[in-house]
Amino acid sequence: MMADSDRVYADLYPVEENHLLDPAALIDPDITFLVARCDGVVAGFGALAIRRDENAAYGELKRMYVAPSLRGIGLGRRLLQALEDRARADGMALLRLETGNRQPEAIGLYRAAGFTERGPFGPYAESEHSLYMEKRL
């Protein structure tokens, strides 16, 4: 499924604008990777990366993806909630994310969950394809 998500993003955005978390990074102790299953089959996933800047630590959402055949049943919302819960448990007061502007469903999910737009953060630069968002927890 991760390879499927990579192909989707490669079809939507130039390679230099795909800011995907490398699968090898998922074993890093600062990464939480959650998997959603339906009837025992992987249906989606998402990651929370603990990041630090000059002010404090924050959580960055990465690799949010739900199988196209299983969208619309609330898996993305439940994954997002579980990642937010983990961030709170880890003492994070802020979540940030970068998403592509050609993903209206993802943008709608994040807005409905209380994320608001902001400028680039961390390693990101201004981009015609990216939308940057954050949420105070």
Extract the tokens encoding 83.
């990642």
Instruction: Give the gyration radius of the chain's Cα atoms.
Output: 14
Tell me 21's DSSP state: P
What is the set of domains in the chain, with CATH numbers? 2-136 (3.40.630.30)
What are the tens digits of pLDDT across the range 46-63?
A: 999 999 887 788 999 999
What are the tens digits of pLDDT across the range 69-112?
A: 999 999 999 999 999 999 999 999 999 999 999 999 999 999 99
Closest to 110 measured CA to CA, from 78, 133, 87: 133
Q: Are the C-beta atoms of residues 79 and 64 closer than 8 Å to each other?
A: yes
Q: What is the pTM of this model?
A: 0.91
Whole-angstrom Cα distance, residue 132 to residue 98? 5
Give residue 68's pLDDT.
Answer: 93
